[in-house]
A and B are shown apart, each in its own frame.
Chain A
Amino acid sequence: MNHFLAVAALIFAVTFMFMLPLVPALVELRRKSDARPLNVVQQHAGEIRHFANSFREYIKGLEPILQECVAAGTSATGTLPDGEEYVVLGRTDEPLVRALEQRDSTHPVVMACGVDLIVPDEAAFSRDIYAAGRFFGGERNSYRAILGEKNVHLGASSRVLRWVHAVGEFTADLGCRLLGRVSSDSFIRLHADCSFLRLNAPRIEIGRTATDAEATTPSSDLPINVGSETLQRVLHDGDFEIHAGQVISSNIVVRGSLHIRSGARICGSVKSVKDMVLEDGVAVKGSLISARKMRIGRDCAVHGPVVAERELAIAAGTRCGAREHPTTVSAPRIDVEEGAVVFGTLWAREFGQVVASR
């Protein structure tokens, strides 16, 4: 091989090696197989009822069949526009529902019921369920999703994999596992040992709670000051303590741990960079934010959002938000004791559970 060819071969080889990593890039540039903008949700705001609303829209076409079946006391089967099979029930009795449940493992179908639906114990449904009437679930059942136009009741130790929405009241008996979203247009009640992720209702009661009239929380004594931003912001470096019964008329930011002694009242909002502890009977007019753990004692009242970045424990008798001022209570992990009430959203990003009252 002469020198000229050797140099040419070297240049070619180097150029080839340099271009090699660019080949996939050139192919992608030409084909534009992944050139669309990232999907940014424009149309909805992450509402908890999004799936329920979509499902209602999805089965809207079944409405005439549902009415016919209810009138005739019969049932009907068919296929939805996307190929999904459905069964419409105009009447329910245990053998019929049991038969559907047993068929579910091999041939699952979307179920729409025009009357009250009573599901026997130890049943599992892997497709969404629509109930135009009331829904009564037996014990140890498993559901994918339920949309109830009236009340929805889950028996003890039942499980929901994706979502439940009740236009009426929603109740879950002991030990239910609610793995997705649960919402109600009126009321949610969870009993002891239930676990949850995201709940939303005008009123969420944990176990048996006092009525508004019976409540002993001190919130009503505080002046309404929803826009607590107008108050002065006071910064404290290091740990800080608010004494028992003390009344604070400012917003407070603590760059350490914060301990609020029993009966203290804060007309503004509170933030702590480390742990926050509220003893019994504390009232806060604004928000409560902790960058770590937060523990709220018995019979406290918080009007604004409650956010803990690590863990949150709420004791019995505590009320977050108010009927006319719904709010959000949020943390990756939440333990909430029977007797607590939340007006609005209770959202455990990783795990939430109801703890039996001491």
Chain B
Amino acid sequence: MLWLRAMIYALYVIVFVICIYTGRHYWFTLNRLFGFQRHPYIDIDTAEWPPVTVLVAAHNEEKVVANILDALMAVKYPADKMLVIPVNDRSTDRTREIIDTFVEKFPGRIQPFHRAGGKGGKAAALKDAMELVTTEVILIFDADYIPGAGLIRQLVAPFFDLEVGGVMGRVVPMNAGTNLLTRLLDLERSGGYQVDQQARMNLRLVPQHGGTVAGVRLSALREIGGWNENSLTEDTDLTYRLLLNGWKTVYQNRSECYEEVPEVWPVRIKQIMRWAKGHNQAMMTYGLRLLLGKHRATLRERIDGTLLLGVYAMAPITLVGWALALGVFYQGVAPLHGVIALLSLTAYAALGNLAAFFEIAAAARLDGTRKRISLLPFLILGFGVSIFSVSRAAVSQVSDLVTGAEFHWDKTERFRKVL
């Protein structure tokens, strides 16, 4: 039957794509364990440091904004060369009041940008705040982050390299031990940064700009048209526009910064759904152009960048694969007499499923945190929630396209006590 044959071929394509991502996981992990590690800029500790502007994105951040401003005032960077701009985006809580207290306390070092109206979202707020920025190097932090004393220097150092348009540091959950969710997110972050991002850096692929604990070069930003306020994830959007315009984004694994991760599942689900929608949006916008277009990205950047764009699309694809596999099975079909299917199943169970776990376990080992590896079996729970949330986001994104509904920006809830 034609439709059954179509199902089987679709299933083969899905299995092939999953195999590619599996191989990618192993490649990254083995590179981190045994390959040459690139940290070219981390040793720059003495230099004529350039002026830098630090943008702190804050929308209703009364619980956390004082912490980051305190930390920024204590960093070891020439005070006359660093200007902090808290971007207070239409806050309705005490955020403005707290920021203004710091402005009084540290005259000349903090210049507030209070935004009362305009389009919602971080990209739109940053775009408006750019009118105050005059320095070539810009660093960006979300308000729940707490930079250490040396972080600003570390994030500025890569900009001595003229190829570098964007810089990304490592994010470390500070509330890792709160509950099962935070512990799972801690493991996921570890795998994502310690292995994934650093391997991409090592292999000269496409490290991703994360939009916080990050930097961007003003001339590069101007060249690519500034912040894209229509993007749901301005960081992913920035990564690809920089790449397409001949700029590199580099990852600094040793430039670590504490963040607060969601402590309840509904907040986590909202967060990952927003990431998924933004990522898929970038995939639709830049995918084909990156892979086949005429620009300065290398072949390996084109391939890795395309695979990176597809990571959130893999969730619904995997679900479709499961449905197809079940459908084909209940039709009594055993492709290639069942032998290939059996081999594929056992091989994938042994290697494919383990790829992501292997990556996270390797990350935990590199971090020197052994006992938390025992939580790995619980990651199935996190992956289960992610796969359905991300698929739901993809479906709603398609339905939004059909109905013309606008995206509603959900701010990630904070869990720290108000100061």
Q: A43 contacts B40, CB within 8 Å?
A: no
Interchain CB contact (< 8 A) of A305 among B47, B180, B376:
B47
Judged by a CB distance under 8 angstroms, whether A327 is at the interface is yes
Q: A25 contacts B177, CB within 8 Å?
A: no
Q: Which residues of B are found within 8 Å of A229, using beta-carbon distances?
A: 50, 136-137, 159, 217, 219
Distance in angstroms between the alpha carbons of A40 and B176 in the assembled complex: 13
* B-contact bits for A315-327, CB 8 A (1 contact / 0 none): 0000001000111
Q: Which residues of A are found within 8 Å of B75, using beta-carbon distances?
A: 45
Judged by a CB distance under 8 angstroms, whether B7 is at the interface is no
Bin the interface of chain B by size. 35 or more
Distance in angstroms between the alpha carbons of A235 and B137 in the assembled complex: 20
Judged by a CB distance under 8 angstroms, whether B175 is at the interface is yes
Distance in angstroms between the alpha carbons of A222 and B163 in the assembled complex: 23
* B-contact bits for A284-306, CB 8 A (1 contact / 0 none): 00110101000000000001110
Judged by a CB distance under 8 angstroms, whether B62 is at the interface is no
Q: Which residues of B are found within 8 Å of A28, using beta-carbon distances?
A: 371-372, 374-375
Judged by a CB distance under 8 angstroms, whether A32 is at the interface is yes
Judged by a CB distance under 8 angstroms, whether B313 is at the interface is no
Q: Which residues of A are found within 8 Å of B296, using beta-carbon distances?
A: 235, 237, 255
Q: A45 contacts B153, CB within 8 Å?
A: yes
| A289-B161 in contact given A36-B176, A41-B150 (Cβ < 8 Å) | yes
Judged by a CB distance under 8 angstroms, whether B78 is at the interface is no
Q: A330 contacts B43, CB within 8 Å?
A: yes
Q: B177 contacts A36, CB within 8 Å?
A: yes
| A44-B46 in contact given A253-B163, A305-B160 (Cβ < 8 Å) | no
Question: What's the minimum C-beta distance from B130 to chain A, rounded to whole angstroms?
Answer: 17
* A-contact bits for B264-304, CB 8 A (1 contact / 0 none): 00000000000000000000000000000000100000000
Question: What's the minimum C-beta distance from B177 to chain A, rounded to whole angstroms?
Answer: 3
Q: B378 contacts A328, CB within 8 Å?
A: no
Q: Which of A42-91 contact B (CB under 8 A)?
A: 42-48
Nearest B residue to A250 via CB reads B162
Q: B44 contacts A305, CB within 8 Å?
A: yes
Q: Which residues of B are found within 8 Å of A184, using beta-carbon distances?
A: none
Q: A38 contacts B371, CB within 8 Å?
A: no
Q: Which of B346-393 contact A (CB under 8 A)?
A: 367, 369-372, 374-378
Q: Which residues of A are found within 8 Å of B51, using beta-carbon distances?
A: 227
Distance in angstroms between the alpha carbons of A345 and B153 in the assembled complex: 15
Question: What's the minimum C-beta distance from B303 to chain A, rounded to whole angstroms?
Answer: 18
User: What are 18 sample pairs from A and B whose C-beta atoms fall under 8 A apart?
Assistant: A25-B374, A25-B378, A28-B375, A37-B172, A37-B174, A40-B257, A42-B258, A43-B148, A44-B76, A46-B150, A47-B45, A227-B50, A227-B136, A252-B162, A287-B162, A289-B163, A345-B45, A349-B43
Which residues of B come within 8 Å of A, CB atoms? 38, 40-41, 43-48, 50-51, 71, 75-76, 136-137, 146, 148-150, 153, 157, 159-163, 172-177, 180, 183, 186, 190, 217, 219, 246, 256-258, 296, 367, 369-372, 374-378
11 additional A-B pairs beyond A37-B258, A307-B43, A349-B43, beta carbons within 8 Å, are: A34-B370, A41-B149, A45-B148, A200-B46, A226-B50, A253-B163, A304-B47, A305-B160, A307-B41, A307-B160, A344-B46
